[in-house]
Amino acid sequence: MNDISDSIDAAEAKAVLEAALLVAGEPVQPAQLAKLFDPALPVDAVRALLEELARDWSSHRVELVQVASGWRFQGTRTIQPYLDRLAPEKPPRYSRAVMETLAIIAYRQPVTRGDIENIRGVVVSTQIIQALENRGWIDVVGHRETPGRPALYATTRRFLDDLGLRSLEELPPLEEIAKTLQLEPQPAAVAEAAARPDDSEEEPAAATGTGG
């Protein structure tokens, strides 16, 4: 393969990447993986090797995938029920109120607590916001330049990682988010309101909530 150092061939480089990702246990960015080599490989070459490696594993019950925080190995959907038995304790199943709040943030971000309350029609408790922050799914990405400068909330890379997504553009239907993240289903009316654009002024594109 072009751009591979003279000191290492493509097969050896793939083996190094494979071992590093299997041991890491969490997503790793190509730029970080490139530094495994001396001299460091070009990031584009690392991406190409990762794509080859993903194809190599495509027939296995473990797959190499790209998510928001980088590349990682994970079990396929067919094997996941067996893997769940290794950790029988289920993550907390959040309430409908938490799901409604998360859905609004995910599809309308960045939003303030007031925005969420206008859509839901009820007060958003501090506990709901804290539950989502503690799980690492949302974070404050700025403040709206209005009286009181309310905090703007957006989703994080951790949220996308837990859904197995690379970007917000890949967000699935709300029902699939609920199933994947162990959340209770939400009413269709809230789903429609969360996804429907309004006439409010758009925030700067930099505050999209994919960082974190």
Beta carbons of 177 and 106 less than 8 angstroms apart: yes
Mean pLDDT by 10 residues, the chain (212 residues): 65 95 94 94 95 95 94 90 78 79 92 93 92 94 94 95 90 76 56 50 39 42
pLDDT reported for residue 182: 65
First CA to last CA across the chain, in angstroms? 34
pLDDT reported for residue 173: 78
E strand residue ranges, 84-192: 138-143, 151-155
Length of the chain: 212
- The third-level CATH classification (topology) of the domain covering 10-84 is Arc Repressor Mutant, subunit A (1.10.10)
pTM equals 0.70
- Burial-class residue 68 by CB neighbours within 10 Å (0-12, 13-18, 19+): buried
pLDDT reported for residue 56: 95
| Beta strands at 151-155 and 70-75: parallel, antiparallel or unpaired | unpaired
How far apart are the C-alpha atoms of 52 and 212, rounded to whole Å? 28
pLDDT reported for residue 7: 59
pLDDT reported for residue 199: 42
pLDDT reported for residue 206: 35
pLDDT reported for residue 207: 35
Beta carbons of 177 and 88 less than 8 angstroms apart: no
- Neighbour tally for 22: CB within 10 Å: 12
Amino acid letter for position 208: T
How far apart are the C-alpha atoms of 19 and 69, rounded to whole Å? 18
Q: Please give the helix or strand (H or E) that residue 4 lies within, else none.
A: none
Amino acid letter for position 13: A
Are the folds of 10-84 and 96-195 the same?
Answer: yes
SS3 146: coil
pLDDT reported for residue 89: 67
- The third-level CATH classification (topology) of the domain covering 96-195 is Arc Repressor Mutant, subunit A (1.10.10)
Domain boundaries, the chain: 10-84, 96-195
pLDDT reported for residue 210: 43
